[in-house]
Amino acid sequence: MAIEVRVPTILRTYTGGEKAVTAQGGTLAQLIDDVDASNPGVKERLVDESGIRRFINVYVNDEDVRFTGGLDTAVADGDTVVILPAVAGG
Amino acid sequence: MRHDTLLDSVGDTPLVGLPRLSPSPDVRLWAKLEDRNPTGSVKDRVALAMVQRAEKEGRLRPGCTLLEPTSGNTGISLAMVAKLRGYRLVCVLPENTSEERRQLLRMWGAEIVSTPAAGGSNEAVRIAKQIGAEHPDWVMLYQYGNPANADAHREGTGPELLADLPEITHVVAGLGTTGTLMGLGQFFREHKPEVRIVAAEPRYGELVYGLRNLDEGFVPELYDDSLIDARFSVGSRDAVRRVRELLDSEGIFAGLSTGAILHAALAQAARAVEAKQRADIAFVVADGGWKYLSTGAYEGTVEDAEERLEGQLWA
**pLDDT, tens digit, 9 for 90 and up, residues B35-91:** 999 999 999 999 999 999 999 999 999 899 999 999 889 999 999 999 999 999 999
- Please tell me the total count of domains within chain B: 2
Please indicate whether residue B32 is annotated as part of the active site. no
B205 and B287 inside one domain:
yes
In a domain, A90, yes or no: no
> What is the band of A90 on the pLDDT scale with cuts at 50, 70, 90?
low
Please indicate whether residue B257 is annotated as part of the active site. yes
Q: Where is the domain boundary, B140, B164, B186?
A: B140
> Is the pLDDT reported for residue B202 higher than 80?
yes
Cβ of A86 within 8 Å of Cβ of B217? The answer is yes
The amino acid at residue B39 is T
Cβ of A64 within 8 Å of Cβ of B232? The answer is yes
Give the largest Cα separation in chain A, rounded.
39
* Residue B108 contacts residue B81 (beta carbons within 8 Å): no
B36 vs B213 pLDDT, higher one: B36
In a domain, A8, yes or no: yes
In a domain, A11, yes or no: yes
In a domain, A35, yes or no: yes
**B3-12 residue pLDDT tens:** 999 999 999 9
Residue of A nearest to B215 (CA): A55
CATH of the domain at A78: 3.10.20.30
Identify the residue among B197, B214, B236, B238 best suited for mutation to test binding to A, counting A beta carbons within 10 A and taking the highest. B214
B206 and B288 inside one domain:
yes
In a domain, B173, yes or no: yes
Distance CA B41, CA B35 (A): 5
B83 and B29 inside one domain:
no
Identify the residue among B231, B238, B313 best suited for mutation to test binding to A, counting A beta carbons within 10 A and taking the highest. B231
The whole-number pLDDT of residue A1 equals 65
In a domain, B310, yes or no: no
Choose, from B43, B71, B77, B121, the residue flagged as catalytic.
Answer: B43
Q: Where is the domain boundary, B111, B140, B169?
A: B140
B194 and B296 inside one domain:
yes
Residues of chain A neighbouring B120 (CB-CB closer than 8 A): 87-88
B196 and B226 inside one domain:
yes
Domain that includes residue B130, residue range? 43-140
Cβ of B176 within 8 Å of Cβ of A62? The answer is no
B104 and B175 inside one domain:
no
Domain that includes residue A7, residue range? 3-85
Q: How many CB pairs under 8 A join A and B?
A: 102
Among B18, B13, B69, B71, CA closest to B42: B13
In a domain, B311, yes or no: no
Residue of B nearest to A46 (CA): B214
Distance CA B309, CA B239 (A): 11
Q: Where is the domain boundary, B82, B115, B140?
A: B140
User: What percentage of chain B carries pLDDT values higher than 70?
Assistant: 100
CATH of the domain at B88: 3.40.50.1100
- Please tell me the total count of domains within chain A: 1
Q: Tell me the Ramachandran region of residue B37: left when phi exceeds 0, alpha when psi lies from -120 to 50, beta otherwise.
A: beta
| ipTM of this complex prediction, to 2 decimal places | 0.95
Q: Judge whether B286 is closer than 8 Å to chain A, CB to CB.
A: no
Burial degree of B268 (CB within 10 A; 0-12, 13-18, 19+): buried
Q: Judge whether B232 is closer than 8 Å to chain A, CB to CB.
A: yes
B257 and B273 inside one domain:
yes
B238 and B160 inside one domain:
yes
Q: Judge whether B125 is closer than 8 Å to chain A, CB to CB.
A: yes
B125 and B210 inside one domain:
no
B49 and B31 inside one domain:
no
Q: A residues 44-83 near B, CB within 8 Å?
A: 45, 53-57, 59, 62-64, 66-68, 82
Around B226, how many Cα atoms within 13 Å sit in the side-chain half-sphere?
2
B104 and B225 inside one domain:
no
Cβ of A88 within 8 Å of Cβ of B208? The answer is no
> Is the pLDDT reported for residue B246 higher than 80?
yes
**B138-196 residue pLDDT tens:** 999 999 999 999 999 999 999 999 999 999 999 999 999 999 999 999 999 999 999 99
In a domain, B309, yes or no: no
**B109-145 residue pLDDT tens:** 999 999 998 878 888 999 999 999 999 999 999 999 9
Q: Judge whether B117 is closer than 8 Å to chain A, CB to CB.
A: no
B31 and B50 inside one domain:
no
C-alpha distances in Å from residue B118, one per residue of A2, B102, B206, B256, B311: 32, 18, 9, 20, 9
Which of A10, A63, A68 is closest, CB to CB, to B211? A10
In a domain, A43, yes or no: yes
> Is the pLDDT reported for residue B284 higher than 80?
yes
